A = this chain, B = another copy of it.
């Protein structure tokens, strides 16, 4: 059976690198559609445009206008395709407006050298059953954020004080993560995972929508099956903007994705 993710990101090829998509209302959060889901739709189109390079290595997306559920178009243009990597420009549009413009370099992660010399440390999280399920969010939150139904997300209790009006001020949120339907996340799905957690500004006592200007994701390995650990941090809140760094670690203890986004601070 197809996973919910595959269904929600399915595309209709229209030739010449053009694809039709249907943005599912299940990914709405607040007034818009989750940027990670949109990046996943774009990422899947790129994968179809360069079938010999199925995996994102790096994707940079610039968010131009807020998307709405419903029909969308993704156009892809192969800028260069070599033996091992291909670079592609892509745009997601709706109603004649560009929503997202992106650049991406794709390859095949299975054919990359297998050496690993990672000095980054895997996030330490309490056992899953001691973490706070996002499904415990109040009804009014869940009504405005149906995307919470897409995941099984268990937030480290040390990073969830903001939900009770007591943000830690550390600028750090980390959680266990898997899809609600139990399907494993693939490399294109990691593009979504990097933007799935609540904005790290919640932990700074700045609730509210934090519009993304730019999001770049590096995918470094095909994730092993099972639960992922996702960590978000910010270290530079200044000039009305903040950066959000995300790491995704797989069940084999491997750092499979790193992302950074630049977002506007919520007005508080």
Point out the residues of chain B lying under 8 angstroms from A89, CB to CB: 89, 101
**Are A204 and B241 in contact, with the CB atoms below 8 A?**
no
Chain A 81-102 interface 0/1 with B at a Cβ cutoff of 8 Å (1 = within):
0000101010000000010011
A146 to chain B, nearest CB (A): 28
Return the contact of A103 from the options B101, B109, B116, B117 (Cβ within 8 A).
Answer: B101
| Bound form: Cα–Cα A255–B234 in Å | 13
Tell me the dominant secondary structure on chain A's binding face: strand
Point out the residues of chain B lying under 8 angstroms from A254, CB to CB: 238
Q: Counting CB contacts under 8 A, is A138 at the interface?
A: no
Given A58-B262, A105-B62, A119-B171, A239 contacting B221 (CB threshold 8 A)? yes
Q: Counting CB contacts under 8 A, is A232 at the interface?
A: no
**Are A213 and B58 in contact, with the CB atoms below 8 A?**
yes
**Are A239 and B118 in contact, with the CB atoms below 8 A?**
no
A77 to chain B, nearest CB (A): 10
**Are A235 and B60 in contact, with the CB atoms below 8 A?**
no
Return the contact of A236 from the options B103, B170, B216, B220 (Cβ within 8 A).
Answer: B220
Point out the residues of chain B lying under 8 angstroms from A116, CB to CB: 237-239
**Are B109 and A239 in contact, with the CB atoms below 8 A?**
yes
- A–B pairs, 6, beta carbons within 8 Å: A58-B213, A113-B265, A116-B238, A214-B216, A216-B216, A238-B255
